[in-house]
Chains A and B, each alone.
Chain A
Amino acid sequence: MRPILLQGHERALTQIRYNRDGDIIFSTAKDQHICAWFAHNGERLGTYHGHQGALWTVDVDPTSTIIASGAADNTVRLWDIKSGKCLKVWNFDTAVKRVEFNEDGSRLLAVTEKRMGFLGTIVVLAITLDAEAEQSDERVMTISCEESKATVAGWSYMSKYIIAGHEDGSVSQYDAKTGEALDNVQVHELDMLITDLQWSQDRTYFITACKDKTAKLINARNLEVLKTYVADTPLNSASITPKKDFVILGGGQAAMDVTTTAARQGKFEARFYHKIFEEEIGRVRGHFGPLNTVAANPNGKGYASGGEDGYVRVHQFDKAYFDFTYEVERQARQQQQTAI
């Protein structure tokens, strides 16, 4: 496969998101604009300007009308995808590290940093899914993380729970209506930062990436660890691929140690693991720095990765990717066919 290299940012990438149809990619970096790209040919649709600090996060609503972004300038902004206009600004006390729309796009959660005497919080905002509509200022709910600040968070199926990954390596479950803390499980090693949390397509389970060099597949209902993927490097991002039962992990040596290592030792590769068998099945090279974010295309035909080197690489999978199955999978399929 020949990846498409996107050079829209001057600084390290922080997050990449596909929209639900998988035709547009949104990327944020530590420079101050968001880029929107067409996934099929890497053409840049546009850039969104207005933030005054490093951008940490972006998310797109399910209908691909608006995007939300969070930045180090303590704001969450809402943008019209088509025109690039900023629709709404919410101000917070500290930087916003993660935003995510729920399944129907009526709610937006924002994870704020713990800093300057303010506790880390998860704030829920009500969204009107229309580029013309007036958005309300009001915060529907605020969850304070007293023990350990949340680094990532997301909505489970039916917007039933809010799941948050914490700085201390634990994952907690909140009731999405009341904000009540239901559960907290130490899934990763103690005091290892959870760097990413991405959902399966039906949002019944999710994958976390952690600095303890593992990624875990976790059930959203009871926070049971379903699978563990062990890597040999701190992980920054993990994504579940639709269509094929794989997961993609991205990581690499910490950014500040990068200059002292050769490209190969730095382990700047996207790692593919089999989702069920927890076994590594291949790697994709290309970046010159650690991978900060990976995102699988919802149509299952490709993925994009963003690195500390400022590049986004968009890959379309080859036939070999779709053909790959384990012997047991093949046998099971044959048996099924003969049974019919």
Chain B
Amino acid sequence: MSKLANRPDWADDEDLDDTTNELPPDTQTSNRDGTKTIVSWRFDDNGRKVKTTRRIRFTTHREVVNPRVAERKMWAKFGLSSKDGKGPAADTTSIGENIIFRPSANWRKDAKEEKTDTGNLKEKLKDKQVKCRICNGEHFTARCPYKGTIAPVGEEGSGDVAPGGPADLGEGPGGLSSGKGSYVPPHLRGAQEGSGDRMGGGKYERDDLATLRVTNVSEMAEEQELRDMFERFGRVTRVFLAKDRETGLAKGFAFISFQERTDAARACEKMDGYGFKHLILRVEFAKKAA
């Protein structure tokens, strides 16, 4: 078990295989488009080596400040920060997600609209009453006086309902608009927008919408090459090229995530059938993971 725990996951960075205990020096390379790629290494809490690759575009922003303020910027750090280097330390300072703040006089009205959207589900369920599936009376099915004597209402009509007996979680006739027999979890039923306020919600869905699956990729392909190829169509947020852990060769498929779905669609159209390293790429939208 401990052996398993120590072994790095195959999905982790491919460079984890080497077992030397020294950190390679940080490297800094300038890219052609004016950005810099900085590769730095550190050990994480479990003693594993972590490679951080940052691609940064530097813009110089000049600001004239009061000499008092300028002098204070030169002060040496002290206390818990005395060991920190120049610039913000990663353990105390981080950048939050972008917040859109537009003051407006009819702020309340805007917010109210938003509120009704989320309150929809609640309102829908508010005047929902208990309904028996056997006799349509206002009691639970299990309490039905006709239980076992007559068949549930509409059972003949809904032939494609998955077999599960009367104890199944069906919603009664017409409860599910999809009409398909497969089970739909309660939180996905009905309107899509009332899916609750999860923290950081929507991240994965958004990701999925603008992700392309590229197959028939050459074994010799590199992530950077793919990124360069697809970046022509728009901002690429993620490139994942499946690689064999032992040999380091590509397995023949990759996922490319775009920031915008429109860019992804354009890339899909243009790159499908593109010849890359003697092979013809096949590009399609990634299917949502089950």
Contact = CB atoms under 8 A, between A and B. Distances in A.
B95 interface: yes
Contact of A324 (B79, B88, B92, B103): B103
Interface residues of A, number: 49
A87 interface: no
B99 interface: yes
B74 to A, nearest CB: 10
Interface string B63-105: 0011011001101011111101001110111111111011111
B94 A5 contact: yes
B167 interface: no
A64 interface: yes
A324 to B, nearest CB: 4
A7 B81 CA distance: 12
Interface in A289-340: 313, 315, 317-318, 320-321, 324, 326-327
A5 B79 contact: no
A157 interface: no
A1 B79 contact: no
A128 to B, nearest CB: 20
A49 interface: yes
Interface in B195-237: 197, 199
Contact of B69 (A4, A21, A246, A282): A21
A47 B94 CA distance: 18
B107 interface: yes
Main DSSP-derived SS at the A contact region: mixed
Contacts of A24: 72
A43 B80 CA distance: 12
B80 A286 contact: no
A37 B84 CA distance: 13
B107 A286 contact: no
Contacts of A327: 105
A46 B101 contact: no
Contacts of B107: 280-283
B108 interface: yes
B264 to A, nearest CB: 25
Contact of A284 (B72, B84, B99): B99
Interface in A39-65: 41-49, 64
Contacts of B87: 41, 43
A280 B106 CA distance: 9
Interface string A251-284: 0000000000011100000001000000111111
Contacts of A37: 93
Interface in B24-52: none
Given A7-B94, A262-B197, A326 B81 contact: no
A280 B81 CA distance: 39
B79 A23 contact: no
B104 A281 contact: yes
Contacts of B105: 279, 281, 326-327
A5 B95 contact: yes
A272 B105 CA distance: 11
Contacts of B97: 2
Contacts of B197: 262-264
A6 interface: yes
A4 B105 CA distance: 27
A274 B91 CA distance: 36
A21 B68 contact: yes
Contact of A49 (B79, B99, B103): B79
A33 B79 contact: yes
A44 B95 contact: no
A222 interface: no
Contacts of B88: 41-44
A64 B68 CA distance: 9
A37 to B, nearest CB: 8
Q: Which of B68, B92, B107 has the most CB of A within 10 A?
A: B92
Contacts of B65: 23
B99 A1 contact: yes
A64 B72 contact: yes
Interface string B144-179: 000000000000000000000000000000000000
B122 to A, nearest CB: 12
Given A5-B94, A64-B68, A263-B199, A47 B79 contact: yes
A221 interface: no
A263 B118 CA distance: 14
A284 B107 CA distance: 12
B103 A320 contact: yes
A179 interface: no
B196 to A, nearest CB: 9
Given A23-B65, A24-B72, A83-B78, A44 B93 contact: yes
A209 B276 CA distance: 65
Nearest to B199: A263
A240 to B, nearest CB: 15
Contacts of B66: 21
A231 to B, nearest CB: 12
13 contacts: A2-B97, A2-B99, A5-B95, A5-B96, A8-B80, A43-B93, A44-B77, A47-B80, A263-B199, A280-B108, A285-B99, A317-B101, A321-B102
In the complex, the 7 A-B pairs of residues with the closest C-beta atoms, listed nearest first:
A47-B79, A46-B78, A42-B93, A84-B78, A324-B103, A46-B79, A281-B103
Interface of A: 1-8, 21, 23-24, 33, 37-38, 41-49, 64, 82-84, 246, 262-264, 272, 279-286, 313, 315, 317-318, 320-321, 324, 326-327
Given A43-B93, A44-B77, 8 more contacts: A21-B66, A23-B65, A43-B84, A44-B80, A44-B84, A313-B96, A321-B101, A327-B105
